[in-house]
């Protein structure tokens, strides 16, 4: 029976495999149609290079060295033009350097007897191998020329070692360089001229999407903070996902940004209106956005803390907070549009509305002196009791084991007694310990305005950090010669650009890994 069932399951899996493959293929293609084009480009390049073998006259001239052209195409042709150029030039440079060094060493070795020559070659291989590998740990070389050093090592060893057995090494090397050049040529042709994907464009678009994601996250956070209780759990976690998605791309963007900027710096400039495109400035802006993102994460954390300001209290500040968030998010979207359309941002970016909203928030906080007054014990306890009851209900609904939240240190005492009795019982350890600090926190009668104060303070903090972002975007506009801001300029352009730029952030991530995992 067991075996039969196992076979059944395996058969089912095999039967569903083609469907799964097809679905994944469709999804991958729909996410970014440029992937399909890239695949076809690779296929075409390989076929072109294979012609060196398949067509008689070509084969007669080049011979079996044509394999090197095939190898070059497989290894060098990458998703974006920048990555291809970076790899191609690294490969060329590495090959040239290795060839020169190998000939120098061969020249020295040739003057002596056969046995000494073998020893000399062995020693050279050891020394150069160790030195080149060690050099790969140097930060600067690792960053820019890691692939080049690998190719250097490969070529050097192949030439040096085979020179011991073959006499016309110079001819071999010449032929090989020739075919590698053909391979590189095909790659460059394909990646630069036929439906090119630019790393620079990727970086540009991902920066725009990051700004928009942060704007969405902030609005989402504030909306959820003030509306959550009435909405059912399903919808709530969905909006939580939205918030998370907004800042997630920003938090993990460091390595992607850096490699895209590096690749972009190899690309020829393909826009005519700027003398020099400041890719490093995009990386810097990315860093500032990441720091802004950390504040958004903390803001999001406020929605999930154990002690919560009761809804009745929060509702008092709903209006000013929502307005501040809306203004911050508006400013971020304006910055995103400014970068997208390559124009300076509107001088109205920090509007009076933002200032008014901040002032209203301030007024609202001041008008509720009792909230921030912890010593008014009765009221505080009442509020906390309310909050605790609410929290308890919620926990029950979500199936937790804690039926009510203890509001004094008796909870801790209880926990301690329990702990003493289970000290040795391994299995229960996991169930009990994790609750401790949550109990410890909820059992304290903190002024329940404290969490709201944190929320408000973080919101104000985002406004302060907005400055840094505006700073960097302005600097970017200055270096990249963005055009002047003209009112009413955006509406038409946006229609065009929004459509075609959506899937790019996924691509840049995939494209990075394709860079890093490639041979």
- Residues 147-186 touching a second copy, rule: CB under 8 A, are 147, 150-151, 153-154, 157-158, 160-162, 164-166
Cβ at position 294, least distance to a second copy in Å? 4
Residue from 5, 276, 366, 425 that binds a second copy (CB under 8 A)? 366
What is the rounded CA–CA span in Å between residue 374 and residue 389?
20
Q: Report the candidate in 335, 341, 339, 320 with the shortest Cα–Cα distance to residue 215.
A: 335
Interacting span for a second copy (CB under 8 A) from 52-60, 204-212, 392-400, 495-503: 52-60
The reply on whether position 412 binds a second copy by CB under 8 A is yes
Q: Report the candidate in 319, 336, 201, 200 with the shortest Cα–Cα distance to residue 263.
A: 200
> What would the two tokens of residue 213 be?
């994601």
Residue from 131, 189, 194, 498 that binds a second copy (CB under 8 A)? 131
Contact 91, 148 (CB under 8 A): yes
> Which residues between 197 and 236 bind a second copy (CB under 8 A)?
none
Residue number with CB closer to a second copy (133 or 312): 133
The reply on whether position 241 binds a second copy by CB under 8 A is no
What is the rounded CA–CA span in Å between residue 461 and residue 386?
30
The reply on whether position 35 binds a second copy by CB under 8 A is yes
Residues paired with residue 343 on neighbouring β-strands, in sequence order:
483
In Å, the largest CA–CA distance within the chain is: 100
The reply on whether position 466 binds a second copy by CB under 8 A is yes
Helix axes 34-54, 169-193, angle to 10 degrees: 150
The reply on whether position 40 binds a second copy by CB under 8 A is yes
The reply on whether position 130 binds a second copy by CB under 8 A is yes
> What would the two tokens of residue 4 be?
């039969």
> What would the two tokens of residue 247 be?
């800042």
R_g over Cα of the chain: 32
Residue from 4, 423, 487, 491 that binds a second copy (CB under 8 A)? 423
The reply on whether position 22 binds a second copy by CB under 8 A is no
**Would you give the binding string for a second copy spanning residues 292-321, x where CB under 8 A is met?**
--xx-xx--x---xxx--------------
Residue number with CB closer to a second copy (164 or 227): 164
Contact 300, 243 (CB under 8 A): yes
CA angle, corner 453, sides to 448 and 459, nearest 5? Answer: 145
Q: Tell me the site size for a second copy, rule CB under 8 A.
A: 138
Residue number with CB closer to a second copy (200 or 451): 451
Q: Which residues of 427-451 are buried (b: 16+ CB within 10 A; e: fewer)?
A: eeeeeeeebeeebeebbebebbbeb
Cβ at position 495, least distance to a second copy in Å? 28
Residue from 177, 358, 385, 479 that binds a second copy (CB under 8 A)? 358
What is the rounded CA–CA span in Å between residue 29 and residue 118?
54
Ramachandran angles phi, psi of 336, nearest 5°: -60, -45
Residue number with CB closer to a second copy (230 or 352): 352
Residue from 65, 89, 93, 136 that binds a second copy (CB under 8 A)? 136
The reply on whether position 291 binds a second copy by CB under 8 A is yes
> Which residues between 367 and 396 bind a second copy (CB under 8 A)?
367, 369, 371-376
Residue from 7, 9, 11, 44 that binds a second copy (CB under 8 A)? 44
Cβ at position 24, least distance to a second copy in Å? 6
Cβ at position 193, least distance to a second copy in Å? 18
Interacting span for a second copy (CB under 8 A) from 139-147, 185-193, 220-228, 313-321: 139-147
Q: Where are the alpha helices (DSSP H) in 252-306?
A: 254-264, 279-302
The reply on whether position 36 binds a second copy by CB under 8 A is yes
Rounded alpha-carbon distances, angstroms, from residue 161 to 26, 106, 180, 412: 48, 10, 20, 73
The reply on whether position 510 binds a second copy by CB under 8 A is yes
Number of residues assigned to the chain: 519
> What would the two tokens of residue 8 be?
């059944």
Residue number with CB closer to a second copy (316 or 497): 316
Cβ at position 4, least distance to a second copy in Å? 28
> Which residues between 97 and 116 bind a second copy (CB under 8 A)?
none
The reply on whether position 54 binds a second copy by CB under 8 A is yes
Alpha carbon 468 to its chain centroid, in Å, reads: 21
What is the rounded CA–CA span in Å between residue 135 and residue 118?
26
Residue from 62, 125, 288, 385 that binds a second copy (CB under 8 A)? 125
What is the rounded CA–CA span in Å between residue 516 and residue 87?
11
Rounded alpha-carbon distances, angstroms, from residue 29 to 209, 404, 511: 20, 51, 14
Residue from 26, 104, 122, 269 that binds a second copy (CB under 8 A)? 122
The reply on whether position 516 binds a second copy by CB under 8 A is yes
Residue number with CB closer to a second copy (386 or 518): 518
Residue number with CB closer to a second copy (209 or 449): 449
Residue number with CB closer to a second copy (93 or 412): 412
What is the rounded CA–CA span in Å between residue 209 and residue 220?
16
Cα atoms found within 13 Å of the Cα of residue 197, Cβ hemisphere only: 25
């Amino acid at each position: 029976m067991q075996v039969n069932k196992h076979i059944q399951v395996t058969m089912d899996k095999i039967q569903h495999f083609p469907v799964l493959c097809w679905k994944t293929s469709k999804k991958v293609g729909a996410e970014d149609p440029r992937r399909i084009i890239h695949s076809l480009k690779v296929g075409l390049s390989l076929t072109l290079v294979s012609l060196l073998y398949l067509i008689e006259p070509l084969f007669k001239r080049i011979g079996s060295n044509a394999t090197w052209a095939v190898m070059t195409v497989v290894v060098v042709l990458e998703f974006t033009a920048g990555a291809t150029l970076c790899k191609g030039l690294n490969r060329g440079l590495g090959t040239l350097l290795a060839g020169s060094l190998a000939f120098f060493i061969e020249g020295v070795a040739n003057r002596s007897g056969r046995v000494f020559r073998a020893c000399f070659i062995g020693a050279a291989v050891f020394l150069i191998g160790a030195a080149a590998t060690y050099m790969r740990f140097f930060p600067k070389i690792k960053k820019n020329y890691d692939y080049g050093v690998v190719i250097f090592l490969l070529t050097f060893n192949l030439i040096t070692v085979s020179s011991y057995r073959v006499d016309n090494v110079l001819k071999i090397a010449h032929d090989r360089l020739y075919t590698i050049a053909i391979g590189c040529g095909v790659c460059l042709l394909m990646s630069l001229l036929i439906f090119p994907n630019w790393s620079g464009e990727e970086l540009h678009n991902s920066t725009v999407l990051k700004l928009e994601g942060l704007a969405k996250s902030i609005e989402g956070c504030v909306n959820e903070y003030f509306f959550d209780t009435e909405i059912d759990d399903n919808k709530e976690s969905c909006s939580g996902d939205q918030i998370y998605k907004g800042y997630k791309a920003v938090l993990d963007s460091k390595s992607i940004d850096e490699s895209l900027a590096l690749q972009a710096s190899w690309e020829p400039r393909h826009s005519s209106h700027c003398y020099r495109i400041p890719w490093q400035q995009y990386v810097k802006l990315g860093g500032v956005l990441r720091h802004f993102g950390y504040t958004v994460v903390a803001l999001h954390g406020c929605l999930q803390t154990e002690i919560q300001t009761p809804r009745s209290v929060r509702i008092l500040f709903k209006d000013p907070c929502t307005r501040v968030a809306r203004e911050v998010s508006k400013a971020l979207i304006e910055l995103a549009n400014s970068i997208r359309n390559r124009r300076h941002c509107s001088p109205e970016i920090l509007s009076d509305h933002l200032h008014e909203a901040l002032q209203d928030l301030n007024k609202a906080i001041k008008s509720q002196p009792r909230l921030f007054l912890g010593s008014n014990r009765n009221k505080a306890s009442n509020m906390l009791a309310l909050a605790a009851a609410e929290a308890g209900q919620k926990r029950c609904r979500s199936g937790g084991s804690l039926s009510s939240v203890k509001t004094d240190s008796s909870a801790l005492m209880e926990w301690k007694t329990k702990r003493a009795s289970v000290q040795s019982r391994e299995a229960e350890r996991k169930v009990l310990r994790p609750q401790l600090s949550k109990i410890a926190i909820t059992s304290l009668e903190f002024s329940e305005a404290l969490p709201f104060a944190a929320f408000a303070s973080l919101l104000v903090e985002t406004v302060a950090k907005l400055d840094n972002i505006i700073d960097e975007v302005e600097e970017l506009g200055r270096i990249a010669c963005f055009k002047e801001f003209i009112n009413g300029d955006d509406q038409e352009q946006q229609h065009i650009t929004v459509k075609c730029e959506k899937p790019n952030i996924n691509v840049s991530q995939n494209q990075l890994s394709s860079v890093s995992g490639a041979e």
